[in-house]
Structure 1
Amino acid sequence: MTQQPLNRRIRAASLALIAGAGLTAGTAQAQDKGTVELAYVEWSSEVASTNVVRAVLEQAGYEVDITSLSAAAMWQAVSTGDADAIVAAWLPTTHADYLERVGDKVVDLGPNLNGTKLGLVVPAYTDVDSIAELDANADTFDGTITGIDPGAGLMSLTEKVVEQYDFEEMDLQSGSGATMTAALDSAIKNEQDIVVTAWTPHWMFARWDLKYLEDPKDVYGGAEQIHTITRQGLEEEMPEAYAILDAFEWTPEQMGEVMLMNQSGDAEPYENAKQWVEENQDVVQEWLPAES
């Protein structure tokens, strides 16, 4: 997956058309419309969605640069205009702090995916069923909750879990999405118990038999949505790109298809996204303006 530095290299639109190129649906427009800068956080769900949006914007005739950042830096980038958009805003809970800080500097286009969930997950064979049972069974899990990157909103919520459930024996260990799933893979192969920070949609639920622990204190809250956020001024400067971003909406099942492609093969996420876009033009055409 190509990642390039963020910049404001919005190219002037070219008036020349490539000879013989048509503007029919399903083909990239020949006009050079400029560069759209997308930022994202390195979660498997956001890798999938950002690359799909990249492929769709390219189909509409845009150049697209994507940049992986921490969650805080991602929000900062779109608020300052260093990024044009993100399709990776988990609201209203996970990224609530970031939205509170920069909400007056960005445009919220609403959800592009409904039906997300956050929480602590264990293998289905684990006897523990509730977060409230964890501390009493700390030895079962080596006293560790295996987490992801420390800047993630999910980690902040899990720190609150540790506090509100008065854990004395369980500690939260930070890492990354990759190290978390690697630890989960190793534990399941060895039929060991493990508890990890997790979210839906994620390919792990298609690969392994897992269960969310009950959260009687409701620290993680209910289902969330993933929103599309743009910088101010994008609608006026790049109205077609803005319209595509505004129209982009898909299901956890559709996202799961792309995530599984990313995990099960050797192709880069960008190549998988292009393949998914090509094979799902009926969906993609709903995101594109009529003239595209």
Structure 2
Amino acid sequence: MSFKKIISILCITVLATLALVGCSSGKSPTGEKEKIKIGYVNWAEGVAMTNLAKVALEDKMGYEVELTLGEPGMIFTSLSDGNVDAFLDTWLPLTHDDYIKKYEGKIEDLGYNYENARIGLVVPEYSDINSIEDLNEFKDDLDGKIIGIDAGAGIMHAATESIKDYGLDYKLIEGSGPAMTTMLKEAIDKEKDIVVTGWKPHWKFARWDLKFLDDPKNSFGESENIHTFTRAGFKEDMPEVAEFFENFILDDDQLGSLMGKLEEMEDGEEAAREWMKENEDLVNSWIPKESK
């Protein structure tokens, strides 16, 4: 074999090795960090999980992560057309089922990241109201209002159905997750009655004594799991990151403490980074072996 051929083979081998190293460390063959786009909705658990995923992917795997905030419909549309790579806050089998059916074949399920989530109507523990079917008796005390969140949220659809199912003479007020918790706090501070669209996991259950109203007609369904969804083809394009998302699972205590940390600190990313340091073994267990 000629000297030139030997040199050529060596160069090709070196370049191939560098490409593999770059891919396993979150870098392209050119040495630039690969970018991952994660969409999220302004819901406590999603904000917490998304910030944690961001700092883990950046600090431990070398990727660049771009976050996109939006309402659920926009996030699922962006996921289906490839403008967003992943969404960590999909509630199934009920809350987001309409979106899953609508974009079938364009989005992919990487499995659950949290089990036994729940949605429903929530009141302070001191309230005399115990069931949705009793709400009409307390209409005056509640000004005939159920305090809701984002218009496109699955829980808002379920709340609308519950008004029909129970024949409630109530108006569902659109808003946001933070606005809902602000109004909840104001009512609790004054020990007034209030009913809100609520879900668990959420830091509000750790801060205040709250209860879900009984739902005998099952308008809000049974407990659900929270799943991570990606755009179609993501698993093939970024197998290492897909494996990280598949490993990314939190239990009630872990997610509760993470949400609490974000609620305490103004900077969500720094709060997630601090929580990651306190839970290093857990986070390291999500990182694929080839990235360690």
Verify: 1:42 aligned to 2:37, yes or no: no
Q: CA deviation at 1:276?
A: 1.2
Instruction: State the distance in 2 between where 1:131 and 1:210 align.
Output: 15
The 5 A counterparts of 1:226-245 are 226-245=226-245
Instruction: State the distance in 2 between where 1:14 and 1:196 align.
Output: 56
In the alignment, what sits opposite 1:106? Answer: 107
Verify: 1:220 aligned to 2:220, yes or no: yes
Instruction: State the distance in 1 between where 2:289 and 2:132 align.
Output: 49
Q: Determine which structure has the larger helix proportion and give its number.
A: 2
Verify: 1:256 aligned to 2:256, yes or no: yes
Verify: 1:171 aligned to 2:151, yes or no: no
Asked whether the equivalents of residues 32 and 61 of structure 1 are also in contact (C-alpha less than 8 Å), the reply is: no
Instruction: State the distance in 2 between where 1:132 and 1:108 align.
Output: 36
In the alignment, what sits opposite 1:159? Answer: 160
The alignment's TM-score, normalised by the length of structure 1, stands at 0.88
Task: Could you list the structure 1 runs, at least 4 aligned residues long, displaced by more than 4 angstroms after superposition.
Answer: 13-16, 28-33
Q: CA deviation at 1:265?
A: 2.8
In the alignment, what sits opposite 1:88? Answer: 89
Instruction: State the distance in 2 between where 1:29 and 1:97 align.
Output: 34
Structure 1: state its 5+ residue gaps: 1-12, 17-22
In the alignment, what sits opposite 2:148? Answer: 147
Verify: 1:194 aligned to 2:202, yes or no: no
Instruction: State the distance in 1 between where 2:243 and 2:155 align.
Output: 30
The alignment's TM-score, normalised by the length of structure 2, stands at 0.88
Instruction: State the distance in 2 between where 1:214 and 1:73 align.
Output: 32
For 2:65, the aligned partner's letter is V
In the alignment, what sits opposite 2:135? Answer: 134
Structure 1's 106 and 29: CA in aligned 2 closer, same or farther, altered over 3 A?
A: closer
Asked whether the equivalents of residues 14 and 33 of structure 1 are also in contact (C-alpha less than 8 Å), the reply is: no
Q: CA deviation at 1:248?
A: 1.0
For 2:249, the aligned partner's letter is E
In the alignment, what sits opposite 2:279? Answer: 280
Deviations for 1:53-101, whole angstroms, at most 9, x for unmatched residues?
A: 1111112111100111110111111111111111111111111111110
Verify: 1:69 aligned to 2:105, yes or no: no
For 2:36, the aligned partner's letter is V
For 2:125, the aligned partner's letter is A
3-state secondary structure, aligned to 2:115 = strand
How many residues align? The count is 270
Asked whether the equivalents of residues 14 and 32 of structure 1 are also in contact (C-alpha less than 8 Å), the reply is: no
Deviations for 1:99-119, whole angstroms, at most 9, x for unmatched residues?
A: 110021111111110010100
Q: CA deviation at 1:32?
A: 4.3
In the alignment, what sits opposite 2:116? Answer: 115
Instruction: State the distance in 2 between where 1:189 and 1:67 align.
Output: 34
Instruction: State the distance in 2 between where 1:273 and 1:193 align.
Output: 34
Instruction: State the distance in 1 between where 2:265 and 2:287 align.
Output: 29
Deviations for 1:218-266, whole angstroms, at most 9, x for unmatched residues?
A: 1101110110111112122211111111211111221111111121233
Instruction: State the distance in 2 between where 1:140 and 1:237 align.
Output: 55
Instruction: State the distance in 2 between where 1:14 and 1:46 align.
Output: 37
For 2:84, the aligned partner's letter is A
In the alignment, what sits opposite 2:13? Answer: none
Q: CA deviation at 1:278?
A: 1.9
Instruction: State the distance in 1 between where 2:83 and 2:17 align.
Output: 23
Q: CA deviation at 1:29?
A: 7.0
Structure 1's 167 and 229: CA in aligned 2 closer, same or farther, altered over 3 A?
A: same
